[in-house]
A and B are shown apart, each in its own frame.
Chain A
Amino acid sequence: MIRERLARTTGFFHTRAALGLRPATAPVILYIPLGMLLGPDWLGVITVRVLGHLDAVISIALATLGLFIGIAAATEGGPRKRLLLASTAEAAVTLIAVGGAILILLGVWNLPLALPPVVVALALGISASTSAAPSVDVGDERARRIAARVADLDDVLPILVGSVVIAVLGSAGMPALLGMVATIGIGLLVAVAGWLLFERAQGAERGVFVLGTIALLGGCAAYLETSPLLSGLVAGWFWALTTGQTDRVVAHELRRVQHPLVVLLLVAAGAGLAPSTAGVWLFAPYVVFRVAGKLIGGWTASRIAPGVAPSDLGAYLITPGVIGIAFALNLQQVAPGTAGALVFAVAVGAIASELLAVLVMPEQRPD
């Protein structure tokens, strides 16, 4: 009993790594506070100027995350369409729960925000709907496996909807539709180029090609103020569906930079956090309705893809996804100076959700 309680209290240090990899130290809990500590408001190791320079690297990190989701969607979602459908339904329920509640509250509160309330509500809904694989090593193995797959695949819908938001706000002055076409076009073009390159290259040369391709994906999207997440997702999806080993080659090569990029993303998010009254007001409903959305979404998903008890699936999915924070950062890149409160609510909300995930644990009941 004491061991179990101890495991629970220290559980948040042993949460999953990003993107459904093997469980590792909880990145959100560790690196966002670290970023805050190193940021301009505290120690000042990461200055505002450095944060500006990190923008390009963040875009590359976003493209990398999107790429992994794309590969996962193509490999997992293809043969297991019900699972992809269940994940999408779960994400949609959370998006509607959080977005709807925030929209109602913003209408009542008269919160002073630079972005339109609809955009803020939608952005928070998108960030809330992403999940990560189960963070606590409890529960039935099969249930955890299903939950991990749902958590991986429920990022697809937020990336797609988020790309529309980014295209409307950014797109470097282009019409939103053209921005979306550019986002997908960049992903496909770079994917075709990569597909032609990777199969023929070997060793270190191949590694350079892969890294260069990812840099191109992120760089193009950043320049055009489109979503690197969607460009990466399209490229990953393309590589997974085409013949050959491209997806495995990319996944293998990127494994070396994946963790540093995620760490960098979270540290940058922490360093750039600007506490504001509006951010604090958004934080509480974000966390509360995210939990509610995940529990209701988990119930919906388990109806479509049975195998885990509905309440357990919801409890597993409370763990926040890095994609949510990544999207908030992307939004801040295309609408600088206006998304500060939103990033604060999402980042601090992610830490709170991570802690809640330890408290609201599944009860190990097979469906």
Chain B
Amino acid sequence: MISPPEARRGRETRLLLATIAISVAVLVLLARFRFPEEAGRPAAEPAPAPLERLAARATYDELASIMADLERRLTPRLAVVQIQPDRAEGAHAIAARMTPRRAILLLTSQESLAPASSSFFPILARDNTRDLAVLSVPEAADAMVTLAPVTLRPGPRYIAVVEATAQGPVIRPVYVGRTDIFQDPRTTSPLLSVAALQQVLPRGAAIFSLAGNFLGLAIEGGTSATIIPGDILYAAAESARGVEETRGDLGFTVQPLTQALARATGAERGVVASAIHPRGPAVDHLEPGDVVTAIDGTTVTTPAGFQQVVQSRTPGQEATLDLIRRGKPVQVTVTVRDATGVPLPPLAGDDPGLVLRHVPGLGAEIVSVRPGGAAARAGLAAGDIVLRVGVRDAPAPAALLTAYRQAPDGGALLLSVQRGAEHRVVALEK
């Protein structure tokens, strides 16, 4: 005879076991399924990452939310100007603010700004080789585009494309395939090529990552577009800077943080202080080899980004630098000085603006490049090794500088340069 409580307990136990058994059965059953995108793929084929990423494309709402956020953040960093004659894309063009007072846009030699725009945004300089124009815009220290490090990121992803309309900048997401870097005779730095999937990238559009970093301007539109990267645009805007401006300077030069330097310094990102000006404000605070990771909390990852942040600072104010010194984080405060006033002595006509060191058997390694100099205009950068000057192999630094001095005014010196594993020829114009 089983008592009612015992019978109840027995029933509860049976129910529990049944629940567990059914759960396991359902789990086994569900585990027999495969996600559709994966199911049709032959097992032997290596997993194609692009297809997986296509399946993981963000939903409309997620993208819309990101675009709304980008629109709010990017609109103050862009300007819309009216051009003439009208392009196929419309009568307006987008200009990206590269410095507090300079914006840059795509403008061919046949195009000009409409009177309404040119009176408001006067053109400071034009580069007809690359179809760029630098505009003077009302000063706004905190409204510049943030430069993205140019890294090759193969595989599909979304980018944000900003186009100009009469109502202002319009932003939309575009899904692109792989991104490639390629050399172009018009520029010394490489350009980006992106393939838009089922959409067209308009010529002249400003391209951003979904994180809001400026990738560049589309100089050739279509489904396979060419983008001129932000660092080239920044250099162009920078070289057009007028002498009337005040801009910040910290009195030291920087170079990129290579993998070897990262291992040696213990820093994961930042830029390396390469030379400290002996009369500059940083002389008592920084040492060559310090890695600058942030300025006033703004992370810096490239020399161009560093320059952009520094020059946006007002002379006389203090800037707090986050450093990695011998593997340990250090914070120093440096008073910003006026770069147009004191700083580096002006370059002589026969000085290309290079600091070099001899690499026996190879040539001359560039330690630092003076902004605004012939070397900077040629796209040379710290870390490059000059293997050949004219007909001379493995030139010593003195031989390179002598050859430049001896070159005729208006002429150019042909350099064979190695950057990482890549070789190129650069014209150093005098």
Contacts and interface: CB of A to CB of B under 8 A. Distances in A.
Interface of A: 40-41, 48-49, 51-52, 97, 101, 104-105, 108-114, 272, 274, 276-278, 281, 284-285, 288-289, 292, 295-296, 299, 309-311, 336-337, 340, 365, 367
Given A112-B53, A296-B19, 17 more contacts: A41-B60, A51-B65, A52-B68, A52-B69, A105-B27, A109-B33, A109-B34, A110-B34, A112-B52, A277-B36, A284-B30, A288-B26, A289-B23, A311-B15, A336-B62, A340-B59, A367-B8
A365 B8 contact: yes
Given A113-B56, A274-B61, A337-B66, A310 B12 contact: yes
Interface string B24-53: 001100110111111000000000000011
B20 A296 contact: yes
B166 interface: no
B68 A299 contact: no
A109 B34 CA distance: 5
B141 interface: no
A41 B64 CA distance: 11
Given A40-B61, A109-B33, A101 B23 contact: yes
A49 B58 CA distance: 17
20 contacts: A40-B64, A48-B65, A49-B68, A52-B65, A104-B31, A109-B34, A109-B35, A111-B35, A112-B52, A112-B53, A274-B61, A288-B23, A292-B22, A292-B26, A296-B16, A336-B66, A337-B62, A340-B58, A340-B61, A340-B62
A337 B16 contact: no
Given A295-B16, A337-B66, A276 B30 contact: no
A309 B10 CA distance: 12
A109 B55 CA distance: 13
A225 to B, nearest CB: 15
Nearest to B54: A112
A276 B59 contact: yes
Nearest to A292: B23
A285 B25 CA distance: 12
A108 B59 CA distance: 23
Interface of A is mostly: helix
6 smallest A-B Cβ distances: which pairs? A112-B56, A274-B59, A112-B55, A292-B23, A274-B61, A48-B64
Contacts of B63: 337
Contacts of B61: 40-41, 48, 272, 274, 340
A112 B26 contact: no
A303 B335 CA distance: 69
Contact of A112 (B22, B33, B37): B37
Contacts of A110: 34-35, 38, 52
B59 to A, nearest CB: 4
Contacts of B55: 112, 277
Contact of A104 (B16, B19, B27): B27
A274 B22 contact: no
A292 B20 CA distance: 7
B25 to A, nearest CB: 11
Nearest to B52: A112
Nearest to A113: B56
B286 to A, nearest CB: 25
Contact of A105 (B19, B31, B53, B60): B31
Contacts of A296: 16, 19-20
A367 B61 CA distance: 49
Contacts of B26: 285, 288-289, 292
A111 B30 CA distance: 13
A310 B33 CA distance: 33
Nearest to A281: B35
Contacts of B56: 112-114
Interface in B397-419: none
Nearest to B23: A292
A110 B39 CA distance: 10
B8 A274 contact: no
Contact of B62 (A105, A111, A274, A295): A274
A284 to B, nearest CB: 7
Nearest to A289: B23
A332 to B, nearest CB: 9
A281 B12 CA distance: 32
Nearest to B20: A296
A337 B66 CA distance: 8
Nearest to B27: A101
A105 B23 CA distance: 13
Contacts of A52: 65, 68-69
B10 to A, nearest CB: 12
A121 B38 CA distance: 20
Contacts of A289: 23, 26-27
